[in-house]
Structure 1
Amino acid sequence: MHTLDDLRAGRLAGITRLDLSQGLTAFPDEIYTLADSLEVLNLTDNALSELPDDLHRLTRLKVLFCSNNRFGQLPLGIGSCPALETVAFRGNQITQVDARAFPATLRSLVLTDNRLEQLPEGLGDCAQLQKLMLAGNRLSALPADLASCQRLELLRIACNRLTALPDWLLTLPRLAWLAYADNPLRKGYAAPSVDNHCPVLHWADVCLDEQLGSGASGVIYRAHLQGRQTPLAVKIYKGAITSDGSPLAEMDACIAAGAHPQLVRVAGRIDDHPQHLPALVMEMIDSHWLNLAGPPSLDGCTRDSYPASRRLTLPALRRLAAGIASVCAHLHARGLSHGDLYAHNILFDEDGQCLLGDFGAASFHPHDDGLAAKALERLEVRAFGILVEELLGCCDQDDQGLRELSRACQQADVLARPGFAEVVAHGSLQEPSRPTP
């Protein structure tokens, strides 16, 4: 983290990223002294409510973070920035957005957890828009011209007031990651009752050990049950809105997902936490599992970051892809979209065994053979096709069958893509048969 003193003393000359969090109530004019170099400006966690209209003086600025401030509207000065691609104003009090605040070069817009009741027409003019995050607002509709954003790949609209998903949304040619839980959508989109197939465990029977991790939706602890030494994991959910949606919706999805070899087993849920927090008890994941990739970088926007050392054999790749296709077929047969089918949400081992995790963006869809169910499944099929393409880039051996499958899953015509049952049966995912001795 940088300081205003360093900025004013000229000690930050030439830097490309500036991080300032000092309770700022006004934009420091000294930032303009970095105009020739500054590409990332992070003003998160301050008390700002305005930005200057001449923000375009930062001619090299690509990324602007202004989350957790006091903005009531999206500043108009943003729209005139000539190189700005990523704009994030999460956790403010924004009620108003003017289309003039959208820079022409916009690729990623984050307005999560604000007070928006509507968005203006004008987003459709942002031809480069790939990522749009609107969870935790008060939207009852999406602007119709968003249908013109043909490059849109990731959309988060959970926890709003939408009563229907617009038809055009289900035909966007590149949309692959969609979260829409906790909207008052018509029957068929609600979480099913999970009371009958998830054991209820009592808090008094759970012994917490050390904390294993903490994320936007909750905290995970190593644990065990009274009188048993088998290690378990307990996730205690928070109530706050995440970038994907509601932690409670995530919990419902984890339970509704049921049992599958590529899912972490849910041992039960806890309803009597002393602070009335919801919690899940899950089997402990063995330490040999590895994260397949890291989340997208700022430049990658909607594409995962793979370590340079990540290499897969073709048999392992085929086994991994087959496992993910199988679990996705299982989920969609239950009327459940994962919503975040990414390598960074997959654990794997060198043999290609895998586990799919993180249901924070999961959403329920009609459990039928209707048009909406088919389209929503095939949006996720595109995410699978992208995953296969990326994994082939980590493999020392090419495979034409897998490339053809990846292309079929990513074709622009949504309904022309195969469903996951067809993907599972595709010849490129089958293990070669061994000759009979």
Structure 2
Amino acid sequence: MSINAVQNANIAEERPFIAEAEHDGARVYALSGIWTTRTVAQVDAEMREIETRGVREPLILDVAGIEKIDTAGAWLLERLITALQARNAEVRLEGEGEEINILLGAVREASRRGEEVSRPKPPGFVIAALEGVGRTVYTIRDDFLASMNILGSTIRGAQMKLGRGHAVNLAAIFHQIDRMGVGAVPVVVLMSAIVGGIVAQQGAYQLRYFGADIFVVDLVGILILRELGVLMTAIMLAGRSGSAITAEIGSMKMREEVDALKVIGLNPVGVLVFPRLVALVIALPCLTIIANFAALGGAIVISWFYSNITPAAFLDRLRVGISLSTIFSGLIKAPFMAMVIGILASVEGLKVGGSAESLGRHVTASVVKAIFVVIIMDGAFAIFFASIDF
């Protein structure tokens, strides 16, 4: 006999059987054989056909002939009993042993709990609103604690080895500066020049009614150097580099590369987060300076063609209208904004689960949170500088 024939014979022996008979005015279904996960699929269609039959007499399920049964077989029996009882049939179980009773009880309890979970009571509007507020507060708390953990690890040092010395990877830092800083120069210059030109044109248009076109230089200089230059650059970096940090760390988390770093004794914060944070802290002030020059350049061109303010006159008035505090008040914000962008991006990246949907959700959350916090921080700095007359 061939191997396939032997296997087919074994499978034929290890299968469930259903025998139907009449006894004392009741319909009897005698169940026998092996009722396990491997075999119950062979009688599933027959069991469903029994569930749909018309029922006029009492039904007896004789399970004394069952040689072996597991949860799958017990679930099939429980489904048949529940379906028949739902049609007002009188069902009686005979020949059951302790094993079958335990399995049927467990399956019945699991089904009851599943029904309770699948049909939750819809909360009222007030309860739902309070629940949303509570979840948001807990999310903010968790994000704050995770951010402080990353910030503390970064301030302490690179910590490439878990608790064993410091090692700064300069190559990784310069690589990140090239990607986040040098790579962002074209888009930052273009955006800043356009915004600077728009501010100059709108300011000149309004000041023309008062014959004070020259004061557009003061308007553009103060607005760009104190607020818009650093703010626009930070927002651009949050969308460009913050999302990249979250996507990179999140992809490593999905592929369990972060866990692999821990297994070989490396600190994920030191390897993945520290170089990116240092690069952002260096790149954002440099990009802010470039953005300021680009915005002022765009304003000079527009003022020249729109208000006949020559570049020499623009620069002369700019030296009078601004001071060193105006320049430094914008640059002081840049490192703090860079830390916020990098920390929030890293926190969201480390929260990514095992699916692409989770990655996309956390990348979006990273950009939104970073831009929101950067704008709040810019307003807080503006109020602080005004209070100390800086």
TM bin (shorter chain): under 0.3
Computing the radius of gyration from Cα coordinates, the structure with the larger value is 2
- TM-score, normalization by structure 2: 0.23
Which structure carries more relative contact order (alpha carbon 8 Å, separation 6+)? 2
Report the TM-score, using the length of structure 1 for normalisation: 0.21
More helix by share: 2
